Amino acid sequence: MDPNAKLVELIAALRQDVAVLVQENAALKQENAELKRRLGRNSGNSSKPPSSDGLQKKPRIAGSLRGRSGKASGGQPGHKGDTLRPVAAPDHVEQHSASVCAHCAAALSAAMQTGVECRQVFDLPQPRLEVTEHRSAIYRCTHCHGVTKAAFPADVTAHVQYGPRLRAAAVYLNTQQLIPVVPKARSSREDRVGQALADLFGATALCPASVVSWVGQAAARLGDVVSHIARRVAQATVRHLDETGFRIGAKTCWLHVASTGCFTHYRVGRSRGDVPLTCDGGVIVHDHFKSYYGLTGVAHGLCNAHHLRELKALIEFDKEPWARAMSDLLLAANQAVRAAGGTALSDAELQRIGARYDAIVAQGLACHEQQPPLGRSPGARGAAPRRPGHNLLRRLSQRKADVLRFATDFAVPFTNNQAEQDLRMMKVKMKISGGFRTEAGANTFADLRSVISTARKHGLNILNALTAPPEALITALTG
């Protein structure tokens, strides 16, 4: 055989091997990059919660997207501080007198007193329950000899029972402070709501099943208030939408929130895409979950805190040059909105921001178009995979108006932090209790938290809100 032919065959075989190795190397690089990205994800460059950072999380200022404000620590000039102040009419007064002079040890008398120095101590009284006995008069008619009993108040239904404020306190501890209650507690140590009420108020004979019943009764009684809150959120000009997963038994369900600065409405859904359909008109602010774009008749504002975290990941892991420019542009635009005195930026400023935005997106897309396509897993179907930066660029390109909505309409905030703050308590609930036993219990929790969160936003006392008549509470929330 011709030696040259053998060399040609050998070269062809080597080229084939090299091609296979190149392909395998590209796949390994892709896999390595993805694993590094997963290992490096934290609350600062992804949507992971801060609690997942563990003990090795970075210092807040060094890794914060907010950066340094340049202000000194502590209260700022002009800040009105909150402190304990004396009252004009104290509940108790204790007199203290001296009998010997502190300087010469001579005897002192009441006639020598020249003044009084007062100090006040604010403290709780010894906890005890007040017992009110209701006595219903019984009459015997002299005309027909029939017996008539005076009516008890409508909420006094048992021979011995707890009153509305203690029941409200139990609901408050369970639903607001997220202290769990075990309906079938095997010992008093398992019933933490009962422990708290016994320690705070001396309610030592409280049954865990009673707390569960009170919570359900409170949710049913406040049903009209929840409906009122839902209507107010649906009618708002700007509302924030978000969702988070939780467990009901062994099943994953979703808590959806629609909120404003004054109202919060929670709703349990069986799927993440079970978004509220009651919003009509106005703007909804969200984190680009595609199901929200199925809502018609509304404008959209995207959460730029999510964009900043994604851009930070692209800067740290992928070293994409356009990401830093886009991050700086969004932060600068937000600063311009804060500094502006009107209701929108000037046309010239908006055109400058828009032109710079388009140039950065074009630069990023051109960068990704020059990169080789990602490899596909064997048997994979659907669209070809894209790099995280490419996906973000496509979103920024297609949803430019929604990304920059905060600059054209000052009623729309830069982030969706309102909804994320309103949802945070569910993560705490899951850490404490793990989940709900029934869907009815989850719905009860969502309704009560809607009332409690809304009352808190209006500056109302939670115990007063839980004991107020629904009509009075609706009036207070309307005002």
Residues 354 and 428 in one domain: no
Residues 292 and 431 in one domain: yes
Residue 252, domain member (yes or no): yes
Confidence of residue 98 (pLDDT cuts 50, 70, 90): very high
Question: Among residues 172, 203, 219, which one ends one of the domains?
Answer: 219
Residue 17, domain member (yes or no): no
Residues 447 and 360 in one domain: no
Please state the domain count of the chain: 3
**CB count in 10 Å sphere of residue 142:** 6
**What CATH number should be reported for the domain holding residue 288?**
3.30.420
Cβ atoms 342, 348 nearer than 8 A = no
Residue 421, domain member (yes or no): yes
Position 170, amino acid: A
Domain that holds residue 320: 304-371+386-408
Confidence of residue 370 (pLDDT cuts 50, 70, 90): confident
- Indicate whether 203 pLDDT > 90: no
**CB count in 10 Å sphere of residue 27:** 14
pLDDT, residue 363, reads: 94
Residue 278, domain member (yes or no): yes
Confidence of residue 184 (pLDDT cuts 50, 70, 90): low
Q: Which residues pair with 107 in a beta bridge?
A: 100
Residues 174 and 200 in one domain: yes
Residues 325 and 398 in one domain: yes
Residue 210, domain member (yes or no): yes
Residue 92, domain member (yes or no): no
- Indicate whether 478 pLDDT > 90: no
Residue 350, domain member (yes or no): yes
Residues 314 and 342 in one domain: yes
Pairing of strands 299-302, 264-269: unpaired
Residues 259 and 290 in one domain: yes
Q: Which two tokens stand for residue 166?
A: 């203690």
Residues 280 and 226 in one domain: yes
pLDDT, residue 57, reads: 58
Q: Which two tokens stand for residue 196?
A: 């708290």
* End-to-end CA, the chain: 99
Q: pLDDT tens digits for 154-183?
A: 989 999 999 999 999 999 999 999 998 876
Note the pTM of the prediction, 2 decimals: 0.81
Residues 330 and 285 in one domain: no
- Indicate whether 71 pLDDT > 80: no
